[in-house]
Structure formats: C-alpha cells, structure tokens
Structure 1
Amino acid sequence: MTMQARIENPAMLLPDTVQAINLLYKAAHSAGVPASTLELVHLRASQINGCSACVDSGARSARKSGETEERLFAVAAWRETPYFTDAERAALALAEATTRLADRSDPVPDEIWDEAARHFSEKELAALVVWLATTNFFNRINATTRQPAPQHWG
C-alpha cells in the first residue's frame, strides 16, 4: 500500500513557515553539539513518532554526513548496543523522554536531564531541546498529513 498525502506539505502551503524552520535549524546546529548527535536524536524521535519521511531523510542525511550503517541500524536499540558514546546515549535518552512527554508523570526526569547536562553545556542543551522540539514539530506535521517517504529506486 502506498501512502497518499492528505494535503501538500503544510510548510510549502504556508511559505512563511520555511523561514522560521530555517532559523530553528540554524540555531540548533550552531551551538556546538556534534552534527552526528543531532542526526541521531532526530532519527530516534522520528522513529518513535512513526514519521516515515523524517526517518528516511534523517537516515540519508546521517549517512551523507559520514554516519555508519551499523550505528544507523542500531539507533532504535541504542541501549543494547556498544556503538554509542556516553554523550550520545545521554542525548538519545533525552530525545526519547522529550518525544514521549505523555508517557510518564515526570516527562523528563532529573536523572535523564542531569546525565545530559554532564555531557553538554547549557547552550548545547538548549540546542538539543530546540532541535528535538523542531524534529517533533516536523514529525507531527508529516504524520498528521501523511507525508510519505519518497520512493528511491536503485
């Protein structure tokens, strides 16, 4: 079954949103968090939200940036693999908590925040939070409007 979009991508229908999205992207990517970490948390949040377009584009972008297939395949099971640094694990835990806000009474427990704060400066934490919010924004738009992942041949 091929998924059919309900409407054109809302960001294209409301062009002023593109500028805002670009500013959020720029801010999140200019605070010193390694690009690979931002790619991984984007991918993990998108997996959780079932956003096929973002999983596809996130994995492709990460691979173009030098991410290994081994690590990309393991993102969903990052806790059970040896492929991620302690800082990446802290960021992935923060990504999961930030994405699953309604799953617990304390959405982002102190132990998750404190572990992330051990590895990232305040500015970097701000960038992670903004990037995760932006990722979840994209995921919600794409899932709601059923934006499909593009078909790739070959």
Structure 2
Amino acid sequence: MSTERMPHPAVLIPEAMEALTAVNRAVTGVGVDGRLLALSHLRASQINGCGPCVAGGAHQARRHGASTEQVHAVAAWRETPWFSAEERAALALTEAVTRLADRPDPVPDRLWDVAATHFDQTELAALLLAIANTNAVNRLNAPTRQQAGSW
C-alpha cells in the first residue's frame, strides 16, 4: 500500500474545497437523482483509480438507494440487467467524458442524443458538472496518494 504523499490539496487551500463543495451543492440542487449521480461518481472514480472516491461513491450510491448488485457491477453495467435506460445513458456519458482522449470524437452524437432523451439541458449541465468535479477530485487524490477512509 502506498502512503499519502501530502495532505489533500483542497484541505491545504480551503477556498478550493469550498469551490468544489459549491459545485456539488449546485449540481444536487438541480434535482438529478442522487443515486444516478453517485453511480456516475463511482464509475468515473473506478476508471481513474481513485480509492477514496470509489469507496465514497459506493457508500453514497447505497445511501441513495442503489442495490448491492448495482454497486458491485457498475464497472460492467453494459453486461447486467440492473441499470435503467436513464442510468445507462448517464454511465455512458460518464465514461466518455472521463476518457476524452480515448477517441477522436470523445462524445459521439449517438451517445449525446441518447443522454438528451433522458435529461433536459439543465440536467445534462448538472451531470456534466458532476462528472467534471469527480474527475477534478480524482486528479487531486491520485497523485497525492490519498487513502480511502483517511479523511
């Protein structure tokens, strides 16, 4: 197990923590289902290898009503029956936005169009901000080797 390299950057710069928290607060205020946001957070964090966010995302997903099957199988959501069409659209968007450099057209029209059938523009904005914020936190945690459960 690696040890933490330094305290979390947003703890060292409290204004940054306030800003990250403010984005999350704004996103949750839009009314997108908390379970869906937690599953999105969990999936992006899995992709990015962020231990604290994987642990936190699993906890939040369960707290918001995700089934044990959903939490355990979110990395294989395409191959399971446990996700709604709306959740699948959000998870596909989450993966695409998290892996922007993996293809020439990071978020193809067909993927976007499916998401747009399930979410209005404000909800899409909230989902994109949530994904971006998750990726930002993952990119702070991973290089500083933050440990799950450490804060």
Fold in common (TM above 0.5)? yes
Cα offset for 1:48? 0.3
Counterpart for residue 3 of structure 1: 2
Cα offset for 1:61? 1.6
Distance across 2 between alignment mates of 1:150 and 1:94: 28
Cα offset for 1:3? 2.1
Distance across 2 between alignment mates of 1:112 and 1:52: 28
What per-residue deviation string (whole Å, max 9, x for no partner) do you get for residues 52-99 of structure 1?
Answer: 110011101211222211110110000000000001000000000000
Distance across 2 between alignment mates of 1:141 and 1:18: 11
Distance across 1 between alignment mates of 2:134 and 2:86: 19
Mark the runs of 5 or more structure 1 residues left unpaired by the alignment: none
1:93 partner amino acid: A
Distance across 2 between alignment mates of 1:29 and 1:3: 33
Matched, 1:126 2:125: yes
Distance across 1 between alignment mates of 2:35 and 2:2: 30
Percent identity over the alignment? Answer: 54
Distance across 1 between alignment mates of 2:61 and 2:84: 16
What per-residue deviation string (whole Å, max 9, x for no partner) do you get for residues 18-69 of structure 1?
Answer: 2101210011111121111100100000000000110011101211222211
1:134 partner amino acid: N
Runs of 4+ residues over 4 Å off in structure 1: none
Counterpart for residue 65 of structure 2: 66
1:55 partner amino acid: V
Counterpart for residue 34 of structure 1: 33
CA RMSD of aligned residues (A): 1.0
- Number of residue equivalences: 150
1:4-153 equivalences under 5 Å are: 4-150=3-149
Cα offset for 1:142? 0.4
1:69 partner amino acid: T
What secondary structure, in the 3-state scheme, does the structure 2 residue paired with 1:132 have? helix
Mark the runs of 5 or more structure 2 residues left unpaired by the alignment: none
